[in-house]
Amino acid sequence: MSDTLLGKVAIVTGGSRGIGEGIAREEIQTGIAKIAATHGRLDILVNNAGVGGIGPIEDITAEEYRRMVDVNFDGVFHATQEAVRHLTSGGRIITIGSINADRIHFGGGTVYAMTKAGVAGFTRALARELGPRGITVNTIQPGPVDTEMNPRTGPFADFTKPHIAVDRYGTADEVGSLVVYLAGHDAAYITGAALNVDGGFAA
């Protein structure tokens, strides 16, 4: 944790697994409101929840579609909407998106890519809306990162690795270091950005 963040009140959604998974619409709004009330403020929201899903578009079930949209997009919207009620000047909203919003090297990722592209557009629009209030809004777009959902070994990794310029998967810590920077005061002039942490996956 950077010294510049000491004393800040931050909420990180979906922080219990990998880069993040598992957000419930009603629970996150209530949780954010309770934390802000308890601490008398909110400084940082990190939208970190996310789920994946791969399959031919004709085989994606309504349940699979709804789950990805609910977590990857609706969850971001509802958490952000509640956080904005409590953030003041100097506040930070950081969303973990995906490089697949811009570049995807495999078939079957249509819904996942759609949700992450939606997050990037939402970020740009919200940055315009909240800029006058001194609140920054950014998206981090990781490439292949070694998590339980996307391990650095296995058949999918064997296919993916040749597309990574640095010839390795990233780590959650490498993504986290950018989150810390964007949450600090040195990043006050960065907003509306989609910042790639992808080892050159999209190069």
Give pLDDT tens digits along the chain (203 positions): 567 788 999 999 885 554 443 334 487 888 999 999 999 999 999 999 888 889 999 999 999 999 999 999 999 999 999 999 999 999 999 999 999 999 998 899 999 999 999 999 999 999 999 999 999 999 999 999 998 778 788 888 888 899 999 999 999 999 999 999 999 999 999 999 999 999 999 99
- This prediction has a pTM of 0.91
Given the DSSP bridges, would you call strands 87-96 and 10-12 parallel, antiparallel or unpaired?
A: unpaired
Nearest to 120 by CA among 139, 135, 104: 139
Q: How far apart are the C-alpha atoms of 72 and 66, rounded to whole Å?
A: 10
Residue 90: predicted pLDDT:
97
181 annotated active-site: no
Residue 21: predicted pLDDT:
39
Catalytic residue among 112, 169, 181, 189: 112
Q: Are 108 and 54 in contact (CB under 8 A)?
A: yes
Q: How far apart are the C-alpha atoms of 57 and 64, rounded to whole Å?
A: 11
Q: Which domains does the chain have, with CATH numbers?
A: 3-196 (3.40.50.720)
Q: How far apart are the C-alpha atoms of 46 and 95, rounded to whole Å?
A: 6
Residue 42: predicted pLDDT:
97
Residue 62: predicted pLDDT:
96
Q: How far apart are the C-alpha atoms of 62 and 33, rounded to whole Å?
A: 31
